[in-house]
């Protein structure tokens, strides 16, 4: 029997108010198992969110830019440990 990887969740937050984004994204990350990822789509560079994840999760969160504007930014968050 072979394990097939689950599809990575993609969350487009462009229509969600910022204060709600900052509640939803950390909760979703907290529920990821080691090795699982979450993609976030936003209309600006989510640098403050990256700073938050670096402070709270350190090396446990792998942050990768998949697309860098100018209109759409796509970031992958992956649980490392």
> pLDDT band for position 8 (50/70/90)?
confident
Cβ neighbours, 10 Å, residue 40: 24
Domains of the chain: 9-79 (3.30.110.40)
Alpha-carbon gap, residue 20 to 70, rounded angstroms: 23
β-partners of residue 16 are none
The per-residue pLDDT for 53 is 95
**pLDDT greater than 50 at residue 72:** yes
CA torsion angle for 62, 47, 73, 43 (degrees, to 10)?
A: 140
């Amino acid at each position: 029997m072979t394990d097939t990887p689950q599809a990575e969740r993609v969350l487009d937050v462009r229509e969600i108010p910022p204060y709600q984004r900052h509640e939803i994204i950390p909760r979703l990350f907290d529920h990821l198992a080691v090795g699982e990822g979450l993609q976030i789509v936003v209309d600006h560079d989510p640098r403050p969110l990256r700073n938050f994840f670096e402070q709270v999760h350190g090396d446990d969160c792998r942050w990768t830019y998949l697309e860098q504007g100018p209109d759409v930014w796509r970031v992958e968050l992956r649980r490392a440990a």
